[in-house]
Amino acid sequence: MVQFFKTLVIGVVGLTLPNLAADAGVSPNGVTTLRERYGVTAFDTIPNMGERLKSIKIAILDNGYGDPATLSKDLPVENLKLVETYTPEFIKAYGLGSENVNPLDPNVQHGRQMAMLAWAITGLKKEEAPQFLLMNANGFTNFRRAIQTAINEKVDIILNSQNWEFGGNFDGRGHVNREVSRATQAGILWINAAGNYGGKVYNAPVVLDDTKHVKLGAKNQGLRVNCRYDRSRLKITLAWNSFNESEQAGTDKDLDLFLLDSDGNVVGRSELTQIVQNPGTDLAEGQSYLAREIIEMELDQTKKDKPYRIKLFAKSGNFTAADRIRVSIVNGKSPVFDPEERKMVDYCELLDHQPKQEIMIPADHAEVITVGDMTTASSRGPTMDGRTKPDLVLRYSEAEFSDGEGLAGTSNAAAYFAGIMAMIKAYSPSVTREWVLAQVKPQLLSKIIKPGEDKGIDDLGVDTVRQIHPTVFKGIDSLLSKDGRTSLVLAGKYRKGSYIAATTMSPLELNRYFKHIPPANQNPDHFEIYMAEVSDRGRPAVWAYVRDRAVGPGNEEWEKILKEKPELFVQIVLAKRKQKPEKDPMIPLWETPGLSAYKAKDKDK
């Protein structure tokens, strides 16, 4: 058999386990807790499960996997291949371009981290790990080559935790999705992140004013962009629905993209000339076949009443009522905690965003499993042709590594789900996308009535508290998360300094858990945390503090603690439900089915 691609085969070199955790933060039992929460530990009881799992092939498509020399330390599995480049023979045999382009970025760790998360779900056993193919999918040409390699290798699962802001009309078609279809039609289960475009997208029909500008925003003043800090790196992408199945077909509809400061000065522009392909003629400088314009630049801090504005100019006049545009932004820096607003914020915000139709490509493909999470950043559908996306949502997408780095978002959720599907396919090889989605049971999620809103509570959000005060969060969640479940649904802070958490547990349940504080939380060298469940009258019904494991109502010590160290005090309250099924959306929440579901499906089990 001809070897059509060059690989770096990683041997087994000692075991250095990444210390992963779910929302409880870094802990010695992080991976165990993670697997319990996603309901995969039941598979550990299956005879020969390790051998079955070794037969599963997972291809990761990404732009970078870090330094290849250190892969074996983080992923010491027996069958690991890094596909960095593709041989000329392979490229020629499948008509995939002419030469190697876009090498992997050694500074990008994303692909490595996705593989680590998927592996963590399967149990982090190097002798019983799935086979991982880490593919160079940097750019469309390599994306096509990675898919062909996955088909040749007969992989079971493709994990793609990336999205494209252009390349199709956001209806599941286009030249990017054409390549995805080759994989799904070959029987590969494609898992795609929904993307973190929540609050970062604007869609509109192409309606022109008298000056040939597209009408956007209030009073046709353009889309407002607010930046909180200087040197905010931002990518603005404009795409319009002039894509088809060929990436080189081109379009005769031409739009230009401009960014203006508060004084109306143009500070950024993209003015490619879109053309229709002319066989035998190469693209000239400044021309493009693709219906997109992109601005990438650093922006300075703005005042809220003086934002930047995005404007679009129609260079051609042949747009009709059927034409639509999409403007999206991507920040070049991770969100930061804003002390004034007491929450995590993006460097730049699209003030005129729309809370729907945020699904990008290929998450919009009809045959992939699109995975989202519970955060507001997770992209919401529907697709432009009206289909519901994401297909399923995971409750948790957070992860922390032993080097202190933490990640969250739909990329993580997709990686976790790839690990879940590896376990399921190892046990039930004939499982299909249709069967998987049939197991999803849409649920109504409770809206929390903030207790004591008149007392000045800042709702920081569970994710924010986890990031800015991991010690407090660890203490809360270690008490309230038992038997693979968590009940923490709100986390905030009184302006006097103390924290508040809302849970669906009753006071009786809280009392029972407080009496069984995990030993790991009793080390005073690590942290000290005080908690109380407070009655409607404002007095504590049950309370606990870790240092000396004191538990009980009516103790005067809690009041002294609250006055002296409010930042160490966490009030636990009972969350109330207020949701109207006729108005609130159903969430396609994933819960891994028990073993009986597969036995019913495969009678030979």
pLDDT at residue 225 is higher than 90: yes
Closest CA to 192 of 360, 381, 79: 360
- Rounded distance between C-alpha atoms, residue 450 and residue 573, angstroms: 10
pLDDT at residue 329 is higher than 80: yes
**In the predicted model, what is the mean pLDDT of the chain?**
79
Residue 572: what pLDDT?
58
For 294, residues 6+ apart whose C-beta sits below 8 A from its C-beta are 235, 236, 237, 238, 257, 270
pTM equals: 0.78
Residues 341-367: pLDDT tens digits?
645 689 999 999 998 999 999 999 999
What is the pLDDT averaged over residues 103-127? 92
Provide the 3-class DSSP secondary structure of residue 300: coil
pLDDT at residue 266 is higher than 70: yes
Provide the 3-class DSSP secondary structure of residue 477: helix
Provide the 3-class DSSP secondary structure of residue 545: strand
What is the pLDDT averaged over residues 5-12? 30
- Which class for 135: exposed (0-12), middle (13-18), buried (19 or more C-beta within 10 A)? buried
pLDDT at residue 369 is higher than 90: yes
pLDDT band at 447 (very low <50, low <70, confident <90, very high): very low
What is the pLDDT averaged over residues 417-434? 96
pLDDT band at 375 (very low <50, low <70, confident <90, very high): confident
pLDDT at residue 449 is higher than 50: no
Count, residues in the chain: 605
Alpha carbons within 13 A on the beta-carbon side of 349:
16
Residue 345: what pLDDT?
82
Provide the 3-class DSSP secondary structure of residue 528: coil
What is the pLDDT averaged over residues 35-57? 92
Residue 530: what pLDDT?
44
pLDDT at residue 440 is higher than 80: yes
pLDDT at residue 511 is higher than 80: no
If one compares 290 and 400, the residue with the highest pLDDT of the two is 290
Ranges of H-type helices in 290-382: none
Closest CA to 43 of 309, 554, 354, 431: 431
pLDDT band at 500 (very low <50, low <70, confident <90, very high): low
Q: What residue type is 192 in one-letter code?
A: N
Q: What are phi and psi of 268, to 5 degrees?
A: -155, 145
pLDDT band at 21 (very low <50, low <70, confident <90, very high): very low
Q: Is the distance from CB of 491 to CB of 473 less than 8 angstroms? A: yes
pLDDT at residue 119 is higher than 90: yes
What is the pLDDT averaged over residues 537-554? 43
pLDDT at residue 55 is higher than 90: yes
- Rounded distance between C-alpha atoms, residue 141 and residue 502, angstroms: 49
